[in-house]
Structure 1
């Protein structure tokens, strides 16, 4: 933390509950503490202020991130780096460019949370455990995020065809409503309580768990995409296989025509912002 005393306080607050956990060591350290780390998680940054543009938020948080990366670089020994700060796709790209690491070791939290929100909303709509729903959100973690309806399934049943007891399949209006709810979910929480904490923490913990345990699990995270249609050189979210070395593979995903267009637009928006930011 930029405030060392706060970092010590947070570590102590967690450590005081250590007797209820597995045998772990919780402590606050300087950047030298990452030398033997397997995973480094970067959450530093500030939230968007009222009336502030996304580009201004990006500039401010890029400055914070660049300072952190410069401090990390002398101590970096090949850990997987997980970027959480927003705009996460932009900052993941900056980390990928500035750290001496294979791009497969730089992961953005991306749409892991959006995908969880998508499943939650579908589960609530159908009255079904969201863990039984396989559905992903791809592209930008932001306004141009793309829920992949064409591949969303409940068991082997496409969610677009599923009709709950006494109900009917989701029509276009219902799908649009859920799409908007996915994209605006974070803003709704922020308006009500000032910031998001818990769901994003669960999403990041899931990413770290997949890496540390070499799970080879499929999670939608932001990573470097050399080329996507007409757009190249961006970071955005697609389903990726995660293991100890970071991103083992980004899976090709079969989208319908509308989703392909939306994903291309998402990639173009990210590349445009990167250009405006000097990347």
Structure 2
């Protein structure tokens, strides 16, 4: 089924969709501190929607390598007013980038349409909260925790380990009451993985897509691109486009990005060409 219901909106996932990143944090790796003010955040949301974003991902905890933990109360205070304000002003799917049960429940109450969790709903109470909302969930793979995940990533077989974990986690979520057609999978590029781990996962992404869950990829401006191309964070647009174009060809349908307009144009053209096959 290509249609997925995100709260009050449905999206056709047979087409590519751009998820615009809105970090309401002081310390995210690329845009930390830029959107902690509500007015500034809303202006950025408006700009991303005008550029073609169909989802806005609001995050109140930085999960960059080495990031410090944030209390649940602080995350609620950062995220919930922003989610509520976006839904009051814009006709867009709002995703909450969180691992905390209270943020999940309060976000759903003010109109969030997707739970996007880098910890795959593994924190205490998160899976139960997500099941209660009956919203779609995005389950991401991460080895370790943000503050230590890049110290020594190690896998027996990164493709089998990561994709196998996501398949098992999806089954566990279904057993706990999450609807099977409400699950999205994310390989977690850059989360407890070396450059070669990331490249192997991207190369074999079609295997994740073959599990018959929608696939989300978020490689925007990440270290992988800097490592391959030798570019600083603000020079990684073309590398980001390359990763996401490759991911679309291998079955991904949602792309979490900073640079919305360029990704919309790239993937619109790729999608139109593909439709003529």
Would the TM-score normalized by the shorter structure come out above 0.5? no
* TM-score, normalised via structure 1 length: 0.31
- Bigger radius of gyration: 1
